[in-house]
């Protein structure tokens, strides 16, 4: 039960925080092909695609519904969206590539349901968040000697808070920002 709770908590943490990030192998685009299945890191699944860069230019993410209104039909891709096909994540590029390009894809990853090990960053930086989530899950199991609604709520709240902190850290990095406040003039 404890192992399953740790795995479930790690998966939820990774999906919520997007803190475990990976750069995938280079995707070589082919003229006339707009869809590419992404290969996740070993023993991990892709939670979400965070960034796509083609030959040094960052692509804009769009919703599927927006694609019909975009022009031109062929050229160097400027936009992308993703879909799921079974367990695979498929990258859709727009416009359809008109020649060969290379794409660098960055994803937020999470452990798979069959994972036996966790990503080093998850253990090194976010172990407290995962443990809080696991404790919350275990304490919520009814009829056990360790069942405690109060502890389940407290640990679950701590896990959510730590997940939010991780998401902020993952999006901005671990940098020291200015603490000064600068006034702005009116009008």
Same domain for 125 and 102: no
Same domain for 126 and 93: no
What is the number of domains present in the chain?
A: 2
- DSSP strands (E only) in 113-174: none
**Between the CA of residue 115 and those of 6, 24, 92, 140, what are the distances in Å?**
11, 19, 28, 23
Same domain for 90 and 46: yes
Same domain for 134 and 102: no
Instruction: Tell whether 178 is covered by a domain.
Output: no
CA 126 to chain centre: 15
Q: Sort 175 into a burial class: Cβ within 10 Å, 0-12 / 13-18 / 19+.
A: exposed
Supply the range of the domain harboring residue 152: 2-14+119-172
What is residue 61's predicted lDDT score, i.e. its pLDDT? 92
Same domain for 65 and 42: yes
Report pLDDT digits (tens) over 82-104: 999 888 999 999 999 999 999 99
**HSE on the CB side for 157, CA within 13 Å?**
6
Full-model pTM:
0.80
């Amino acid at each position: 039960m404890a192992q399953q709770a740790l795995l479930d908590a790690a998966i939820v943490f990774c999906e919520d925080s997007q803190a475990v990030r990976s750069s995938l192998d280079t995707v070589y685009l082919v003229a006339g092909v707009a869809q590419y299945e992404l290969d996740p890191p070993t023993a991990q699944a892709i939670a979400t695609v965070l960034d796509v860069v083609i030959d040094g230019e960052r692509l804009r993410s769009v919703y599927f519904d927006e694609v019909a209104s975009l022009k031109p039909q062929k050229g160097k891709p400027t936009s992308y969206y993703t879909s799921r096909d079974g367990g695979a994540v498929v990258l859709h590029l727009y416009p359809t590539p008109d020649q060969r390009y290379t794409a660098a894809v960055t994803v937020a990853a999470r452990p798979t349901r069959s994972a036996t090990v966790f990503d080093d960053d998850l253990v090194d930086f976010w172990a407290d968040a995962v443990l809080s989530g696991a404790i919350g899950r275990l304490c919520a199991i009814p009829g056990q000697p360790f069942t405690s609604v109060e502890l389940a709520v407290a640990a679950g709240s701590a896990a959510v808070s730590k997940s939010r902190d991780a998401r902020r850290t993952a999006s901005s990095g671990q940098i020291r920002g200015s603490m000064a406040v600068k006034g702005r003039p009116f009008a």
